[in-house]
Amino acid sequence: MPKRPSILLIYTGGTIGMVKDFKSGALRAFNFDKLLQKIPEIKQLDCHIQTFSFSKPIDSSNMSPEKWVQIAEVIEKYYHTVDGFVILHGSDTMSYSASALSFMLENLSKPVIFTGSQLPIGDLRTDAKENLITAIQVASLQQNDEPIVQEVGLYFEYKLYRANRTTKINAEHFNAFASPNYEPLAESGVHLNINTKALRYPEKGTSLIVRKNLDSNVLIIKLFPGINQETIQTLFAIPNLKGIVLETYGSGNAPNEEWFIKLLDDAIKRGLQIVNVTQCSGGSVSMGHYETSTLLKKIGIISGKDITTEAAITKLMYLLGQSIENKNFKSIFETSLRGEIDN
């Protein structure tokens, strides 16, 4: 008889881990030691559940690379004693955190599933119960004593996504996330259907490596009609700046005015890593397709291809923290490391 999987619930903060004080109407952090009392349905899941809570819940707006390292260290500590992880996280920055963890956890061979909710767990119409229960169920799925999911995922509103392909698209609806350029890994309905061909697996014989060096000397610049030379100059002159995610128009297009191209060219020659991603919710950067992106390609701008902004900025932090030689940085960034882009 196969053993029951053991799942560690990691509560970092966010709406899902709060209950409403019905006298004051305020939300307060939930004691996760009493989780089974609050959601008796969890007892029906065929797994052992352990819990870990940060001493002080983190509002997701206060999430930071230092806190990503803390989450990674919890996973590292329990990695050999549990079969999977479910991380409860505020939805606002969940795609950033989940993308970051996907890069930090190299050779991951167990599920790490992020989830959260739009309404607190004690609310009558909450989405927290379904999200939490199914996230645990996904993390518990095994075949031949091996986890079926062996990557960082994000589960929300009946769909499991590859974490580094997600973006938050709605502040009010329950279907708050989307994966515009990659199909869901699983969908929950009457049955829990796993899209096995979409899953990613580590190389055989590899062991988990937790990469904790992140460099947050990075910036996101979103282009808009009328952005001027002085603004770009000021941003490029920020002390210790090492990388920029440049959100361009359409398939990677940008102004081809001489001052703009020269500023980019000079910055790249100084060693600044500049990544071109599209402002569009879906689709890919294709530099050289239009005249307005040909010069970007010529001066050595990095193509983000179909990467999300959240994955681009966290991948940039991750790679800058690995002390990669400047001559190799572009080719490594343009290569899929954790399934975050199409090769």
The residues carrying an active-site annotation are 15
Q: Where are any strands of DSSP class E within the chain?
A: 6-11, 18-20, 27-29, 48-53, 84-88, 105-106, 112-115, 142-143, 146-147, 152-156, 159-162, 167-168, 177-178, 186-188, 192-194, 209-210, 218-222, 243-248, 273-278, 302-303
* Helix (H/G/I), strand (E/B), else coil: 255: coil
Euclidean distance between CA atoms 151 and 195, whole angstroms? 14
Which amino acid makes up residue 99?
A: S
> Which of 174, 219, 217 is CA-nearest to residue 320?
217
Q: Is 104 helix (H, G, I), strand (E, B) or coil?
A: helix
